[in-house]
Every structure is written in C-alpha cells, then in structure tokens.
C-alpha cells in the first residue's frame, strides 16, 4: 500500500489513531468520581461535587521534567518519566492543601514509537491512580524535524481543589520560632539535571552506565529515580493536625514548600512573611550519596548546590514548635524519612544555610 503523503512528510495520523485507541484500557485505573465522558473528546470533562465544599477553590499547576529526559533517552527507559511529571504537579498543588482532581498531558515527538508511547502513558496512569487523580485528556503531537530522532518532550497540567477556609497561607501564618521539618527526596527528582549531566558526563567523562562507589546501581539508575509524591502524606498530615483548628492562626502545620527548581534558597521564601527568615542546618539530615558525589567531584560552591538541588529534602513543612516532635513522628510512621532541619527567625524572607 502506498504511503500517505502526510505520513511521508513525518506525521502518521493512522499510527497516532492506533496508539490512542489503546488509551481507554491504559487509563481505566485513573477514573474517579466526577469524570464525565471518555478520553478523546475535544475537551476533558469533570463535574466537581459542590456538596462537599462550602467555598471550593480550584488550584492548578503546569510543569515539565526538564533535561531528565536526556537520561531516559540515553538509557532507553521511559516508564518513569510520566510518574515524575504527575508527582511533581501533585506536589505543587498539595503545598496549598489541595486534593488533585484531574491531569492532562502533552507529549510531542518527532516520530511516535509505540513501545515508548505506551511506557510513558503507563507512567502517567500509574502515578495518577496512586494520587487518586483522573487522567482525562491530553495532546499527542508528531513533529518530525522539530524534535531530534528518538527524542520527545512531555508537559502536564493538574487541577485540584481545596476548601477556601482550609487553604494554607504561609505568609499570613508563619511566625518566628516555628520549626522546619525536612522530608526526604528519592534523589534529584526533576531539577538540576543540566548541571548533574555536565559534571558526570562532560567533566568526568562518564556515561549513564558507569558505576561509582557509594551508588547501588549505575549513575543512570540513580538519576532516573522517580520523583516522590508527597500528596497523600500531606493530606494525612492536614487531616490529623489541622482539621480541628478553627482559625488559620491555630493550625499546627503552617506551610509546606516543594523543594524544586531553586532549591532551598528560592522555594522556602515563597511561604514566608517579609519579616521572617529561615535557618537551615545543613548537617541535620543524611545527604544521599548522589549529592555527596556531585559535591566531591565538582567545584560548585555549597550555596549554589542548595539553590540548584534538593540535596535530599524534597518537601519541607513549617510547623508550630510545640507539635514538631509529634508531626515528625507521624511523618516517619508513614514510611518517609524526615528530620528537624531548621527554624524560622527574624529576617527579610531569606534562607540562611548554617
């Protein structure tokens, strides 16, 4: 059969349709109450149950996974990237106290490889199901000549909801004396990969298949560890420690900060009042080997490392000092490593590393 002109130009509509036909089965696990219709329409449909809320506030976020994709390309492993994206987006709205409702993805490639497509979508579906977030639609674009051969890009948009009276607002509630709890990351998560790739692969001449003392697997294995979702943990914490607070000032948990691009230096100030700062005691937690290697094998100053990388802390909670030990104990009981890593002090909205 003669190849269609559009396919010869690089866009195989028939292949795209065949791949999309597999989506209902792949996405079945992500359905939750509120989902209307099916994937494949001009728009995803979700009916919010207004009876559950007095003043519902929708919370949204959009993100990508950056040059972590380069590691996936090099290792030809694509089953983790989708989960990275979903979990990152879940965390960004969870810090406001929001429950995720639905997620939409964008996937662009020069040529759609069926195996790669299915691995990515399985990652989306697995993480959406784990976060009780419906995957209700997205866009798949074939753009030969725009993306390099065997490469692609992904982005995602999430929408969640929070009761207005329960929404976290650090700049209004954080006070001097509050305690900083750091919750462990799995590794780099989705930030700092341009610098990490430069250090390991350009400066040191290594490859993703290389092994270094201190790592359990290859460098590639370490760099592809899935971004942790803190959403379920945050919802449990808020239910346990904030549910009975009648006013925002009475809450035991004041704020959360997702430690992503910008590290400690740029993310924590987003939830601070202008008259407060934070001291982070850098020796108070166990820094994972991958960050120790980056520090040992590069000339990057410590202050910059804590602005580029999460250094082993993917989420921080700012809590009242009289409940810090109880909250820390609760977090650890949920199978998350966590430590008290600092405190809120008088300042100008900045983070000091001690």
Beta strand 351-353 with 276-280 is: parallel
Q: Cα–Cα distance between 11 and 142 in angstroms, integer?
A: 6
Q: Inform me whether the pLDDT recorded for 347 exceeds 60.
A: yes
Where in the sequence of the chain do the CATH 3.90.650.10 domains occur? 170-353
Write the DSSP symbol of residue 309: -
Q: In the predicted model, what is the mean pLDDT of the chain?
A: 91
From the number of C-beta atoms within 10 Å of its C-beta (0-12, 13-18, 19+), residue 202 rates as exposed
Higher pLDDT, 253 or 15: 253
Candidate from 36-50, 298-312, 319-333 with smallest mean pLDDT = 36-50
The confidence band for 1, taking pLDDT boundaries of 50, 70 and 90, is: low
Where in the sequence of the chain do the CATH 3.30.1330.10 domains occur? 5-166
Out of 3.30.1330.10, 1.10.3720.10, 2.60.40.10, 3.40.50.300, select the CATH number for domain 5-166.
3.30.1330.10
Question: For residues 247, 249, 253 and 254, what is the CA-based torsion angle, rounded to 10 degrees?
Answer: 120
Give the tokens for residue 36: 């209307």
Q: Supply the pLDDT for residue 11.
A: 60
60 and 165 Cβ atoms separated by less than 8 Å = no
Q: What is the pLDDT of residues 151-176, one digit of tens each?
A: 999 999 999 999 999 999 999 999 99
The confidence band for 250, taking pLDDT boundaries of 50, 70 and 90, is: confident
The confidence band for 233, taking pLDDT boundaries of 50, 70 and 90, is: very high
Q: Supply the pLDDT for residue 344.
A: 97
Candidate from 38-42, 46-50, 121-125, 315-319 with smallest mean pLDDT = 38-42
Query: What is the H or E stretch that residue 162 is in?
Result: strand 152-163
Q: Inform me whether the pLDDT recorded for 265 exceeds 60.
A: yes
Out of 3.90.650.10, 3.40.50.300, 1.20.1600.10, 3.40.50.720, select the CATH number for domain 170-353.
3.90.650.10
102 and 35 Cβ atoms separated by less than 8 Å = yes
* Phi/psi-derived region of residue 191, left when phi > 0, alpha when psi is between -120 and 50, beta in every other case: beta
Q: Supply the pLDDT for residue 24.
A: 66
Q: Cα–Cα distance between 6 and 69 in angstroms, integer?
A: 28
Sequence length of the chain is: 354
The confidence band for 142, taking pLDDT boundaries of 50, 70 and 90, is: confident
Backbone angles phi, psi at 106, to 5 degrees: -120, 130
* Residue listed under structure tokens 């700012």: 318
Across the beta sheet with 152-163, the strand order is 56-64, 152-163, 99-109, 134-142
From the number of C-beta atoms within 10 Å of its C-beta (0-12, 13-18, 19+), residue 268 rates as buried
Q: Supply the pLDDT for residue 290.
A: 96
240 and 228 Cβ atoms separated by less than 8 Å = no
Q: Cα–Cα distance between 317 and 331 in angstroms, integer?
A: 10
Q: What percent of the chain has pLDDT over 70?
A: 91
């Amino acid at each position: 059969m003669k190849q269609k002109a559009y396919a010869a130009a690089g866009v195989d509509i028939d292949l795209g349709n065949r791949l999309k036909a597999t989506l209902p089965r792949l996405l079945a696990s992500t359905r939750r109450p509120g989902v209307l219709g099916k994937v494949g329409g001009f728009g995803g449909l979700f009916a919010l149950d207004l009876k559950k809320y007095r003043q519902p506030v929708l919370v949204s976020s959009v993100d990508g996974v950056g040059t972590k994709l380069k590691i996936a390309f090099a290792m030809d492993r694509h089953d983790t990237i989708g989960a990275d994206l979903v979990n990152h987006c879940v965390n960004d709205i969870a810090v406001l106290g929001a429950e995720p409702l639905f997620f939409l993805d964008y996937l662009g490639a020069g040529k759609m490889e069926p195996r790669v497509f299915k691995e990515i979508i399985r990652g989306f579906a697995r993480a959406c199901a784990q976060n009780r977030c419906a995957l209700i639609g997205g866009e798949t674009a074939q753009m030969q000549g725009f993306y390099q051969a065997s490469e692609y890009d992904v982005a995602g948009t999430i929408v969640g909801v929070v009761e207005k009276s329960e929404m976290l607002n650090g700049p209004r509630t954080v006070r001097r004396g509050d305690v900083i709890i750091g919750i462990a990351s799995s590794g780099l998560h989705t930030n700092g990969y341009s610098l990490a790739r430069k250090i390991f692969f350009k400066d040191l001449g290594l490859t993703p298949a290389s092994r270094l003392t201190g790592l359990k697997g290859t460098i590639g294995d370490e760099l592809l560890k899935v971004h942790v979702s803190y959403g379920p943990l945050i919802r449990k914490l808020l239910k346990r420690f904030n549910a009975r607070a009648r006013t925002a000032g009475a809450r035991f948990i004041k704020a959360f900060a997702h430690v992503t691009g910008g590290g400690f230096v740029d993310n924590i100030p987003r939830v601070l009042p202008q008259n407060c700062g934070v001291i982070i005691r850098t020796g108070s937690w166990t820094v994972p080997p991958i960050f120790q290697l980056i520090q040992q094998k590069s000339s990057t100053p410590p202050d910059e490392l804590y602005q580029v990388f999460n250094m082993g802390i993917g989420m921080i909670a700012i809590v009242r000092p009289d409940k810090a030990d109880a909250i820390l104990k609760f977090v650890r009981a949920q199978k998350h490593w966590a430590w008290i890593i600092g405190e809120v002090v008088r300042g100008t909205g900045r983070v000091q590393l001690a």
